[in-house]
Chain A
């Protein structure tokens, strides 16, 4: 449904900046009815890709087709099947919920009974029913986001693009938003591409793409991605110098030890091998270890593994959201 081939985008040089390559020969496709999440550290090119996909920018080279239409040659056709939820609100906060929905329907040529039907359907899952006459600026962040999603769903997009739609929401609202989105996506068989670096959001989706410096580093189902780094991993927090311990672990155990901040990670551990390894490490290095644990890798660990970077700070809602 979404085909991105060899997409390269370089921002022109400005007075203070050299030209900057934001996307580097990126190829990726999302099948019909699939829910894909696009993640990557800040500056990895997610936002640039998003701007291009929703037709607001033209790349330096490469091709994109959405629903079989060439995005760069047939933007009008693509717009007709596309729904976009931006990170910043795209509703008029001085207008009421009902007025915003009406205006959006007008833009998409939805009129009369059809409008009433679609509006009710799009509002069905929200908590907005008794707030239709309230101005959007008086709504809470979570409800305002619901307006955003409801308005986009009202047009029944075949392809839905979302750019970090849950930014700024508290964990409960975040969960509600995602649950509704996933349910409706399955129900209506929408193709969804959403940027996010909150990995708890990615566990239930079909595919997760991880980008860095404009390149695609990994793109697979959450299960397959997690399998990349084994079924168990041992995480060690050293007391003293992490590098020193890493060197000696590598030398004596012959294992790949990744240092990540103050942490040492022993990935790709066979199922059941974690515990004996933990015991072995404790026996030998107990004095240098503050804590040690075995865990099952989650997507955040995959992200760290693939990008070599920590998950950005504001993504730590993850733990609370569970």
Chain B
């Protein structure tokens, strides 16, 4: 199963790097988001208790989550393209486990997302943020889990779709709001009560928590914090469930009545 997934994932990656526009877009777009919003909001952003934090710094992990979201989800659009082009049917009739097919796409998406977000991580020292070695490991774990969560969710949504434009619509009304309500743009403390609830049950909020935490805490100490562990558990559950759901979806054959 794993070797099949890796072969399929390799194909995703090769296709990604052979399309320079995709590479440029994937790196430039979040960077612009970060710099423009970060610079523009700089003096307006004065949330209680975060007086020492510039918006550029506050928004930094949020942009990371956005990169993971876009990279994973755009990789899932290729499911629709693969189906249209016919490639997918060849994979479906091959003697491979259905989970292998899901993981192939998800690992491919994760690999692409990781390259982008790791490049972006190199900006941390310029913000005065420092990572311990173990902190970096935890950060990586956060990246991988979040990416799997997004890609799994994207897979589930894209599988039954016939057009990429339909998927874009879903992305705008469902996936983007998940990110907007994750605390990426503004802290949960300033949000109204009802939004607070929505944010707390939003898995992307927890993803952001485990990505932000390694920049501000000692890596080993984090593992003793219940808040961090809760978020980690939520993200693991999110990733696992979306993978299982996707596998079920792939295994389902259209049935006559």
Contacts and interface: CB of A to CB of B under 8 A. Distances in A.
B89 interface: yes
Contact of B15 (A59, A82, A86, A94): A94
A10 interface: yes
A277 B226 CA distance: 98
Interface string B74-97: 000000000001110111111111
Contact of B94 (A22, A91, A108): A108
A8 B256 CA distance: 8
Interface in A54-81: 54-61, 76, 79-80
A76 B95 contact: yes
A58 B95 contact: no
A103 interface: yes
Nearest to A62: B256
A251 interface: no
A10 B257 contact: yes
A93 B256 CA distance: 32
Given A89-B85, A91-B90, A60 B257 contact: yes
B93 A55 contact: yes
Interface residues of A, number: 38
A8 B7 CA distance: 37
Nearest to A78: B95
B44 interface: no
Interface in A79-114: 79-80, 82, 84, 86, 88-95, 99, 102-104, 106-109
Interface string B236-247: 000000000000
B93 A95 contact: no
Interface string B163-185: 00000000000000000000000
Contacts of A109: 3, 95
A102 B7 CA distance: 9
A106 B3 contact: yes
Contacts, number: 90
A90 B4 contact: no
A287 interface: no
Contact of B257 (A19, A76, A82): A19
Contacts of B8: 103, 107
Given A58-B255, A92-B11, A103-B11, 8 more contacts: A12-B257, A56-B254, A79-B93, A82-B93, A93-B85, A95-B15, A99-B11, A107-B7
A285 interface: no
Contact of B89 (A58, A90, A102): A90
A79 B257 contact: no
Contacts of A76: 95, 97
Contacts of A55: 92-93, 253
Contacts of A80: 95
Contacts of A91: 87, 90
Nearest to A53: B93
**Which 9 pairs from chain A and chain B are nearest by CB?**
A90-B90, A60-B256, A88-B86, A106-B7, A79-B95, A107-B94, A9-B256, A80-B95, A58-B255
A275 B214 CA distance: 95
Contact of A56 (B14, B92, B97, B257): B92
Contacts of A89: 85-86
A11 interface: yes
A56 B96 contact: no
A94 B14 CA distance: 9
Interface residues of B, number: 25
Contact of B87 (A56, A61, A92): A92
A291 to B, nearest CB: 44
Nearest to B94: A107
7 contacts: A11-B257, A19-B257, A57-B253, A57-B256, A60-B256, A90-B90, A107-B7
A79 B94 contact: yes
A94 to B, nearest CB: 5
A198 B56 CA distance: 66
Contacts of B87: 90-92
A86 B89 contact: yes
Contacts of A88: 85-86, 89
Contacts of A108: 94-95
Nearest to B3: A106
A225 B257 CA distance: 34
A175 B179 CA distance: 56
Interface in A266-302: none
A104 B95 CA distance: 11
Nearest to A21: B256
A106 B4 contact: yes
Nearest to A8: B256
A12 B257 CA distance: 6
Contact of B4 (A56, A92, A107): A107
Given A80-B95, A106-B7, A57 B89 contact: no
B9 to A, nearest CB: 11
A154 to B, nearest CB: 12
